[in-house]
Amino acid sequence: MKSLKSNLFGIAIAVLALVAPFIHAADISLLNVSYDPTREFYKEYNQAFAKHWKELKGDNVTVRQSHGGSGSQARSVIDGLDADVVTLALAYDVDAIAQKAHAIDTNWQKRFTHNSAPYTSTIVFLVRKGNPKGIKDWDDLVKSDVKVITPNPKTSGGARWNHLAAWGYALEKYGSEDKAREFVTKIYANVPVLDSGARGATNTFVQRGLGDVLLAWENEAILSINELGRDKFEIIVPSVSILAEPSVSIVDKNVEKKGTKEVATAYLQYLYSKEGQRIAAKNYYRPTDPEIAKETAANFPKLKLFTIDAVFNGWGEAQKKHFADGGEFDKIFASIKR
């Protein structure tokens, strides 16, 4: 009995001796729950932030990543996925976490600059090399011989931006809600499959070779061209598109419980730094910092961009009218005979 006790004591001493050097340099682990196309961006950004934090505080930060369709990722956080921060495709998905699980302060958009959207993007078209169907603008998507690939707006954030971009275009060009609905219905009638997330849709288009045009995040389109060959695809920039503002927030309930509020806030704040903005631009997100935007302007085609606030009166209303149960998307989908 005595020997067991002294053994335990010895083990305790050994463990302490092993742990002691690390007591000052704490090992912090954060979980960033994000949407599909940000995988490569955050992989690079996480390393930059870890280095920055190590220099600033001396602590080691490991940021773990989780990716999927923006809507389903938000659902997982609502169901208890332990995210310290969420970096989702659109404000509504962050709102959903705030409202359904009360895990995020409803005031979240005011906590970081630019409505908590550190980088922006837009929706462009990816077509096959040589553009065999001659697709130039939104009007070409309603032609009966064009197959369009876009994910499911019920689960994918990118798909909701796609839907609203098309709607906004038609609304301005044809002047009425009815005409816009008709236009968007025609586009959906040309969609052979609805994937659950943006990356799935990209793979359907580039890997499985389905469809003539992919409606994609600008960054996703440029990335797939760079990854899979300029000789296979090209990007078509429409005359008008939507300014997509992916939103970020800390998840209050989780960071308070885990004691990671300070580092989680710093993690998101650093997205606005020169280095964070440069990494965003390098991964084809449009930077919001004017200096970096100027520096990288050549990488991003110029086009007319409208905002969700101007055309749809913000995400709250857009979500309710278009994507809630029985909304425009459901009506359109039911009207298309499949």
Partner 1 sequence: MQTEHRLEPRWLKPLLLGTTLLFLAIFLALPLGVVFSEALAKGWKVYWASITEPDAIAAIKLTLLVVLITVPLNTVFGVATAWLIAKFEFRGKGLLITLIDLPFAVSPVIAGLIFVLLFGSQGWFGAWLSEHDIRIVFATPGIILATLFITSPFVAREIIPLMQEQGKDEEESALTLGASGWQTFWKVTLPNIKWGLLYGVILSNARAMGEFGAVAVVSGHIRGMTTTMPLHVEILYGEYLFTAAFAVASLLTLLALVTLVLKSFIEWRIGKKRLLAH
Strand partners, 189: none
Q: Cβ closer to partner 1: 36 or 328?
A: 36
Binding site for partner 1 (CB under 8 A): 31, 36, 39-40, 64-68, 76, 78-82, 100-101, 199-200, 203, 224, 227-228
Find all residues with CB under 8 Å of 34, minimum gap 6, and list them: 42, 65, 66, 67, 73, 86, 87, 88
Q: At closest approach, how far in Å is the CB of 143 from partner 1?
A: 30
Residue 63 sits at φ, ψ, to 5 deg, of -105, 120
Q: Cβ closer to partner 1: 37 or 118?
A: 37
Q: Cβ closer to partner 1: 203 or 273?
A: 203
Q: At closest approach, how far in Å is the CB of 331 from partner 1?
A: 26
The 3-state secondary structure of 137-150 reads CHHHHHCCCCCEEC
For tokens 């288009």, the residue is 205
Q: Cβ closer to partner 1: 42 or 188?
A: 42
Q: Cβ closer to partner 1: 82 or 295?
A: 82
Q: At closest approach, how far in Å is the CB of 7 from partner 1?
A: 28
Q: At closest approach, how far in Å is the CB of 66 from partner 1?
A: 5
Q: At closest approach, how far in Å is the CB of 249 from partner 1?
A: 17
Terminal Cα distance for the chain, rounded? 76
Fill in the amino acid letter for 119: Y
CA dihedral 128, 132, 137, 138 (to 10 degrees): -80
Assigned token pair, 109: 């958009």
How many residues does the structure list for the chain? 338
Q: At closest approach, how far in Å is the CB of 148 from partner 1?
A: 21
Q: Cβ closer to partner 1: 90 or 103?
A: 103
Report angle CA 171, 172, 173 to the nearest 5 degrees. Answer: 95
Q: At closest approach, how far in Å is the CB of 118 from partner 1?
A: 22
Q: Pick from 77, 130, 148, 153: which is nearest to 108 by CA? A: 77
Assigned token pair, 103: 């895990």
For tokens 């876009």, the residue is 150
User: Pairing relation of β-strands 119-128 and 233-236?
Assistant: antiparallel
Q: Cβ closer to partner 1: 34 or 277?
A: 34
